[in-house]
Structure 1
Amino acid sequence: MKKRRLYILIFIVSILGLSIVQYQYLRIGINLAKVQFSSKIGLASEQIKNTLETKNKLTFLLANAIREDSLYFNISVDSLKNASSHFLNDFLTEKLVEKGIEADFSYRLFTKDSAYYLKSPVVYERSAEVVTYPIEIKGYLPNILDADLILEMKFRNLDSYYLSKLNGLTVPSLLFIMGIIASILWMLKTYYWQRNVITTTNEFINNLTHELKTPVFSIGLASKMLADGISEEKAPLLEIIRQQVERLKTHIDKVLELASFEESKGGFDLKAIDFGPNLENLCKEFETLTSFEKVQFSFTLIDRPYWIKADVPHMENAVNNLLDNAKKYAKDPMIELISRIEKGSLVIAISDNGKGIGKKDQKLVFQKYYRVSNGNKHDVKGYGLGLSYVKKVIEKHKGTIALQSEVDQGTTITMKIPLYNKNGKKV
């Protein structure tokens, strides 16, 4: 629960921090856009001013419209003003667009004493959203009117205009933030779903292993009762039964420990030990068991002793799992175990002549519950827990496990466990 709250807190803080950073970048972008806009307005204003200060067709038309003198054009005063307004509007639009300004605007051309004036087809009233840029006109027009002349341009909703210019920055940023939020939410959902699956699975394993304890106890009790009066010829078989019952009891206990290990960080007790004798006993027991089957098994233990830090029952279970797997997947199994010392590690390699594993499945066989299938069926019964368990054990011993396999050529699984001296110091 504490980890869950911590993850959620980190997620919220990260998103808030990212949003604040993005907001600051947005403010900087808007300020830059304002500076660019002011610069462009200054350049456009200079061109507009230069044009309106000289005598040309536009200024001649404007002069007559402002003075309401329509005799030269032979049209009404209202028509003259309307035409002049549109011509001036087109002229201003052209000059603004040339400088990269496409914002909506209105204008008013008037004398300071307001005796004469001309306005745009659309007029913006003064408000907080309207920004005004006045241009004082000199030259031809003021001389004809004999009055100071002002061209006043008004722009509305410039903040929206600045944001539109930043769409290349803001829209992708918002999309990326939304993508990050969606991805993290999906990951959190998947994580907690997996945690629920693990919890449910461990409960099932706990219940199953507890149920297995009763028949195992009964078999052990029955084997002890059979020991009285049994012939010498059958005594080794009974001993094998008793050994395997004890091993099964150990397996059950270790599976229970593994389930608790997945819920917490406990479950392993690593101690410095020479694992050579244990490994030799495992091999001899496996040799005895396989002597009753069509299995060829050989083992070679080189460079002894093997001082490692190990939880012995878990390590023994890991080796037994691999030997048992090697036996399952071949018609006439030929199994070889070789152990040696290599670069400060104990290397245990187990090879078989089984049907092998395809490249695609090799990456997945160590996952929990995964089993290599043959078409739509599994040739060997099982639950897909063995190799997952082995990998967890080896990783807990700070070792590595690797698999080499070719289809129809067999498989070799190699475990490497760090070596230590008798005092528990790494070699």
Structure 2
Amino acid sequence: MKKKSLWLITGLMTIALLGVFVMQSYYIREAYRLKSQLFEQEVNQALSAVADKVQRLNAVSHITKTDYEWRIKMENQRRDKTRRLIDLDQKYKEDERKRKYNQQKQMIDELNYQDGMIRKLYLSPTIISEIDFYDLANQATTPLNVDVNVGFDEELNMIGSNVRKTFRIGSAKTFNLEPKKLPDSIRYLAYSSNGQPLRISLPSLNAEMRAKFEIEDEIAARRRSNALRELQADTVKLNEGDFNVLEAAAKEMSQLDIPLNERISKPILDTLLRAELLNKNIGLKYDFWLKSVTRDSVLFSKVSFVKGEILPANTFKTTLFSNDVIRDPGMLYINFPDRESLILSNLKVTMASSGALLLVLISIFSYTLYAILRQKKISEMKTDFINNMTHEFKTPVSTIMIASEALRDPEILEDKTRIGRLAGIIYDENVRLGNHIERVLSIARLEKKELKLEEEEVDMNALIAAVADSMSLQLQKKEAQLTLHLDAALPAVKGDELHLSNVIYNLIDNANKYSIGSPKITVNTRNSGGKLIIEVEDEGIGMTKEQSKRAFDQFYRVPTGNLHDVKGFGLGLNYVLDIVTQMNGTIKVHSEKDKGTVFEIIIPLN
């Protein structure tokens, strides 16, 4: 991507981000303004409600005494009326009790008279139960056996009788029951003069007496109803509507000698304010004070001192007694020191969502720029890689081509020594070319996780010594001094011997290539905390902190100024990192510009 396009995209994205930020700021400011207006409206409504309640409480307080006296008078009337009604009811109940007693007495007297007549007319009359009375009608089941002996004089008058009977009396009670428990009819078993058993039924209350009693009850009820009407007519009725509360309040309010602080108290005013504010969901701390309009003085307050008309911020006021045109109406003030905190707390969801949205947009914007710049760097490194790879591949291919052309020379064909040397050159360059290709393919397999490492016990001290020996000719070309301090007592680790040798080879090769003059390279091994530590140290050109951070990036090569004698693909250290990581190890780099570099490999022991 060209720089112009990159700057254009960056500029457009910045403008879009700033636009979103401005819109969100405007939205939050408008929301704050609306919340402030709503808060002011609710506070003014609360103050109006408080003033209205104070006026009503004041009106009620003025007529409390008169209203109390009126209610006492009505209560006394109700009590007197209730007492007289109770007396009337008790008198009626007493008369009723006497009347019922007399009626029962008359009924008993009548029953006794009828019983006496039955006993004179019949032989051995006996009161029986209702069941026995009807059982006697059934001759098959009657329990009665009678034997009668009757004597007569010369005129056939009965002079004596002897009745012998056998009768199983049922469970019915006899005539000595209480009158109120008497049945509707009294049943008798009696005998005629010739000894014939007779069933006699005597009503407990005959029709004439029943009619008489009903007339007496009706007359008593009529007398009670008349007495109740006379009692109602004799009582003066007092109604709630007979007392005009508004007229009494007007008379009280017309007085001019009632001070403002006697019409309302500080605790009541504070309670009303708190209740109305809570009804509006306003739980803030507040200060309030009440001022006299006529005297311009503060009567009472919930703050230390208020002077003049210079009001603090977030203060609201209202006339307390707006209906008073004669007396001091009073001015109520209320102040909210923490008003801003309430409004901001109501906006915290909006502000949090806006902030989160901006953070997301900034993150996306930053990541996009990072990705673009990273892709640009990767593109540049890939271009360098392709150039280096082309150069690295071109050299052996050119050498092979020259050697092949030489082999076509008839003179050379006759010289077997030269043919062998040319064949050796072609073989070495082919091996070199194959190593380059294998290195690139190994990195590709590592990226795709397709490279499977062998797990075998490897003696790193011996491996390092073998790699150093194989690189002796290469090191001698630059007159390098390689020093080995293989002090690890436990050098065995589990890993792939081939790739571990490549790791050591890459690190020593880099130390050799990035050194000016005669390279001085030191390889150390030691044990620490159950781990094997391998250090490859050189005194070469070193790296800056920024270069050290990118040393393991793919295709990255430390710049060497205008010199181009250091060849490579920029894949070596990336390969080293991948191999060490797959062995559960770590690699660190410590470097200082123009003083050298130390690569430290830490591998866990078996």
Q: TM-score of the superposition, structure 2-length normalised?
A: 0.37
Give 1:395 deviation, angstroms: 1.5
The one-letter code of the counterpart of 1:321 is: N
Partner of 2:50: 47
Contact 1:269 1:311 (C-alpha < 8 Å) held by counterparts: yes
1:396 aligned partner, one-letter code: Q
In the alignment, structure 2 segments of 5+ residues that lack a partner are: 1-34, 60-275, 283-320, 327-341
| Pairing partner for 2:457 from 266, 269, 273 | 273
Decide whether the 8 Å contact of 1:372 with 1:378 is kept in 2: no
Q: Is the 8 A contact 1:205 1:259 kept in 2?
A: no
Selected match of 1:406 from 592, 602, 605: 592
Match of 2:541 in 1: 355
Tell me, in whole angstroms, the C-alpha distance in 2 between the residues paired with 1:206 and 1:372.
16
- 1:405 maps to a residue whose letter is S
Q: CA deviation at 1:312?
A: 3.0
301, 317, 320: which one aligns with 2:505: 320
2:359 maps to which residue? 179
TM-score using structure 1 length: 0.50
How far apart in 1 are the matches of 2:325 and 2:471?
A: 116
* SS state at 1:320 partner: helix
Q: Is the 8 A contact 2:480 2:512 kept in 1?
A: yes
Return the alpha-carbon distance in structure 1 between the equivalents of residues 512 and 368 of structure 2. Answer: 41
Deviation readout 1:166-187 (Å, 9 max, x if unpaired)? 3454134223224315524764
1:418 maps onto 2:604 in alignment: yes
Question: What residue identity is the alignment partner of 1:268?
Answer: K
1:272·1:307 contact (CA, 8 Å) conserved in 2? Answer: no
Change (3 A) 1:196 1:411: closer
Structure 2: distance between partners of 1:239 and 1:381? 23
Partners of 1:140 and 1:410 lie apart in 2 by: 91
Secondary structure, counterpart of 1:368 in structure 2: coil
- 1:47 and 1:219 map into 2 onto residues whose CA distance is 105
In 2: Cα distance, 1:373 partner to 1:289 partner: 22
Mapped partners of 2:399, 2:546: distance in 1: 43
Q: Which of 289, 306, 330 lines up with 2:474 in the alignment?
A: 289
Q: Which residue of 1 aligns with 2:142?
A: none
Q: Residue 47 of structure 1: CA displacement?
A: 2.7
CA drift at 1:346: 2.5
Q: Which has the larger radius of gyration?
A: 2
Task: Identify unmatched segments of 5+ residues in structure 1.
Answer: 1-31, 56-94, 102-138, 145-161, 421-427
Which structure 1 residue ranges, 4+ long, deviate > 4 Å from structure 2? 35-42, 50-55, 139-144, 162-165, 188-209, 211-220, 228-231, 238-248, 374-379
1:283 CA drift (Å):
0.8
Counterpart of 2:351 in structure 1: which amino acid?
A: V
Q: Which amino acid aligns with 1:354?
A: G
Q: Which moved more, 1:392-401 or 1:269-278?
A: 269-278
Q: 2:553 aligns with which of 367, 370, 394?
A: 367
Matches within 5 A, 1:66-145: none
Give the distance between the partners of 2:582 and 2:522, measured in 1 at CA. Answer: 25
Q: Distance in 2 between matches of 1:244 and 1:294?
A: 23
Q: Secondary structure at the match of 1:291?
A: helix
- Aligned ranges 1:296-315 → 2 under 5 Å: 296-303=481-488, 306-315=491-500
CA distance in 2, matches of 1:324, 1:215: 19
Residue 260 of structure 1: which of 445, 465, 485 is its match?
A: 445
Shift of the alpha carbon at 1:382? 4.0
- Aligned partner letter, 1:177: L
CA distance in 1 between partners of 2:400 and 2:506 (Å): 22
Q: Whole-Å Cα distance in 1 between the matches of residues 383 and 485 of structure 2?
A: 40
Preserved CA contact (<8 Å) 1:346 1:417 = yes
Query: How far has the Cα of 1:337 moved from its partner?
Result: 1.6
SS at match of 2:471: helix
* Percent identity between the two aligned chains: 29
Counterpart residue identity of residue 390, structure 1 = V
How much does 1:253 deviate? 1.8
Q: How many residues align?
A: 290
Q: Is the 8 Å Cα contact of residues 206 and 259 (structure 1) preserved in structure 2?
A: no
Give secondary structure in 1 for the equivalent of 2:452.
coil
* Structure 2 counterparts to residues 140-159 of structure 1, below 5 A: none
Aligned residue identity for 2:530: G
Amino acid paired to 1:49: D
Following superposition, the deviation at residue 350 of structure 1 comes to 1.3
Deviation digits for residues 331-380 of structure 1, max 9, x if unmatched?
11111222233332232211112122233432222223333335677673
Alignment RMSD (CA, Å): 5.4
